[in-house]
Amino acid sequence: MTKIVILGAGSAVFAQQMVTDVLCIAGLDAGEFALVDIDPLRLELAHQLAELAVQKSGKPFRVTATTNRLEALPNTDFLISCIEVSGLENVQHDYQIPLKYGVDQCIGDTIGPGGLFKFLRTAPSWHQILQDIERICPRAVVMNYTNPMSALVLLATRATPLQVIGLCHSVQGTAQQIAGYLGVEAQKLRYQCAGINHLSWFTQLEVEGQDVYPDLMAKARVPEIHEQDPVRFEMLLQLGAFTTESSGHVSEYTPYFRKRKDLIERHTRAGYRGESGYYAHNWPLWRASHDRHARETIQQGLDALELERSHEFGSQVIEALTLGRPQVIHGNVKNTGLIENLPQGGCVEVACLLDANGIHPTHFGRLPEHLAALDRQHMAFHELAVEAVLQEDREAAVHALMLDPLTAAVCSLQEARSMFDELVEAQQAHLPAFLVRH
């Protein structure tokens, strides 16, 4: 019987989608969902939603819930991690303190001051989780959904021999967006895409054997279309390739868009298109809304549930490895020569073949050099962040912040250090002790 553990299941809407996706796998007719979260109230919402979904499916899946992961881990086949460590308490610190230094973030969960401190808060718990998995269920396939994706997967590859893959929806989601901009059916779009999570690059786009990159370039010059994705279309026009995250995310990942007020006004828009403090201002509201929606769904019962499979890759991994049905996804894995001009041993995002024998990352080759150079700066940031946690090296964490593209575009070295110190002071209750010591 297939056992699937979901860590961080208190994010009830996402956990319920993971449960639904698995229940929609034809031929996987029994199993167990073990839900884990340290928040008992939100865990109970997720538990009730999962029970409803199982009831709606008619499949004899068992659902358990616990606040102690050690109870859930024995005999695990697949583990899905969507943990969040003290994010709600610190999302305003992650945004407001850097803003004082001129570092204006939209999301702040992948790189930049927000991404670094999210990692520094999350990594110690993630490391402990990995050690528990290695001890209790070492054959489990571990799927990470938590950001900052690349740094957390890199830590896993450095700290354990477990099979860990990082999963995101940015590649397949962006492919659908590109198809929409081109006015073609998404299933007709063929593409090559590789790089790092949130900054992978579509190097080929074809429809029925024809290169459609010239068409996308033409669309980028249409004001009404450009306005829908202003930063990514600007990057396409200037760099020649479309990237895999929203304009808001990617505006933080390079030094070009957020270092001056005039650039912010020119290139960014509301919401995910680059709004300043978009996550910091809205995340508490979203969380309350998700909890309210979960309670309403539970109250309404089976009629409120629709069992529709999403485009998240997690259930595809489970289907391929359990039932032997080959699949192709994009995953975040160790670079073992897969992308030749990105650092070997780092974490890269490439196409992966899935079958009954496991997960098989595919060789991509070389990215165009200017695109690889942008990714390499991020990978240096990841290396230093992981070194900081595994070696308990405070200076490595400071140096990661100094290498962050947006911080470096705005701050002097001393200003970056002062910002780091101020962030540590504000978040010290949620950070490992080595960062607090001076």
**pTM, 2 dp:** 0.98
Active-site residue, from 169, 293, 311, 430: 169
User: 114 vs 228, 271, 393, CA distance in Å?
Assistant: 25, 17, 19
Token pair 């100094």 is found at 402
What is the SS3 assignment for 142?
A: strand
Report the distance separating Cα 203 and Cα 272, nearest Å: 24
pLDDT at 14: 87
Report the distance separating Cα 404 and Cα 214, nearest Å: 32
In the CATH hierarchy, which fold is given to the domain comprising 88-110+169-276+313-438?
L-2-Hydroxyisocaproate Dehydrogenase; Chain A, domain 2 (3.90.110)
Res 13 pLDDT > 80: no
Per-residue pLDDT of 268-299, as tens digits, reads 999 999 999 999 999 999 999 999 999 999 99
Res 159 pLDDT > 80: yes
C-alpha count within 13 angstroms, C-beta hemisphere, residue 354? 22
Give catalytic status of residue 198 as yes or no.
no
Per-residue pLDDT of 209-261, as tens digits, reads 999 999 999 999 999 999 999 999 999 999 999 999 999 999 999 999 999 99
What is the SS3 assignment for 54?
A: helix
Question: Which of 356, 110, 128 has its CA nearest to residue 245?
Answer: 110
Token pair 């479309």 is found at 242
pLDDT above 70 covers a percentage of the chain that reads 100
pLDDT at 12: 64
pLDDT band at 437 (very low <50, low <70, confident <90, very high): confident
On average, the pLDDT of the chain sits at 97
Question: Which of 167, 155, 151, 13 has its CA nearest to residue 81?
Answer: 167
Report the distance separating Cα 175 and Cα 112, nearest Å: 26
Q: Average pLDDT for residues 326-334, to the nearest whole number?
A: 98
Per-residue pLDDT of 54-80, as tens digits, reads 999 999 999 999 999 999 999 999 999
Q: Let me know: does 63 contact 247? Beta carbons within 8 Å.
A: no
- Name the residue type at position 388: A
Domain residue spans of the chain: 2-87+111-168, 88-110+169-276+313-438
Looking at the domain that runs over 2-87+111-168, which CATH code has it been given?
3.40.50.720
Tokens for 10? 């208190």
User: 409 vs 57, 233, 253, 338, 404, CA distance in Å?
Assistant: 52, 21, 11, 30, 9
Q: Average pLDDT for residues 71-100, to the nearest whole number?
A: 97
What is the SS3 assignment for 269?
A: coil
- Name the residue type at position 8: G
Per-residue pLDDT of 246-259, as tens digits, reads 999 999 999 999 99
